[in-house]
Amino acid sequence: MFFDISTLFTDEELPRHPQQQRSRLKQQAIFKATAELFAEKGYTNTNTKDIAARAGVSIGTLYFNFKDKKQILLAMLASQVSLYAGLEPVQQAAVETDPFDYFLQQLKLAFPYDPIYYSLAFGVRELASQDEGFRRKLTILGRAIYQRVSNIVQAGESAGMLHPELDKEATVATVSALVFGLYSVLPNPADVSEEIYWNRFHVAVKMVCHTIFRDEFVRLHR
């Protein structure tokens, strides 16, 4: 397992998971409205009344599902993290076969073409600047990303694929920082096509792979 989500959130921090389809649809509407408002106004200037109005639900319905806007943000982040929390250990054979494709698929899972989660990043960054406890959570997630990148590099090393002069520690730290801050250089999925959006990933992965792996192990035509 790439990441144990229980190390990031407690049961008390997250809302109960809706069981009925109608409730799930309302939750998704609240997530969408929250993300839009975070992008437009920021976390601090967004309030639950605005979120309820944008989502088309009553304020009572919002508070039935969430105790405050921070819990909404945590639930959105938990939903995103859960997409890659269950990733299998780094696959040696996949790295050896095509390190470019392996890196690319890892990033596509972590950064979906979805304006909700793009906008979520705005709220996450702002809350982290205000809340030390939340900032520690991001540090935990950052360490998990660092370990994932380190495992990929180690897989390449075991296969004799790395550049001989590569500073592994510095490279892993740099690539991890790039992955952790990738949202800051990505276009908003609400404004661009999937082709443009994923092209940023292709550029980033090409730079990373040619930095880490010897040229014969990276498909140069990409």
Establish if 102 belongs to a structural domain.
Answer: yes
Is-contact 69 130, C-beta < 8 A? no
Establish if 210 belongs to a structural domain.
Answer: yes
Establish if 222 belongs to a structural domain.
Answer: no
Residues 6+ apart with CB under 8 A from 75: 14, 15, 27, 31, 66
Residues 6+ apart with CB under 8 A from 152: 90, 95, 99, 102, 103, 106
Q: What is the pLDDT of residues 99-143, one digit of tens each?
A: 999 999 888 888 889 888 888 888 998 999 999 999 998 898 888
| Number of domains comprising the chain | 1
* Tokens 């609400």 found at: 190
CATH number at residue 211: 1.10.357.10
Nearest alpha-carbon partner for 128 in 139, 119, 118, 117: 139
DSSP bridge pairs for 213: 162
Q: In angstroms, rounded to a whole number, what is the distance separating the alpha carbons of residues 93 and 38?
A: 41
pLDDT of residue 221: 44
Sign of CA dihedral 166, 169, 172, 176: negative
Residue 1, pLDDT above cutoff 60: no
Is-contact 51 30, C-beta < 8 A? yes
Q: What is the pLDDT of residues 164-222, one digit of tens each?
A: 999 999 999 999 999 888 888 888 898 999 999 999 889 989 999 999 999 888 865 45
Looking at every residue in the chain, the average pLDDT score rounds to 88
Residues 6+ apart with CB under 8 A from 45: none
- Domain interval for residue 114: 5-217
Q: What is the pLDDT of residues 136-176, one digit of tens each?
A: 988 988 888 899 899 999 999 999 999 999 999 999 999 99
Question: Taking the model in full, what pTM does it have?
Answer: 0.83
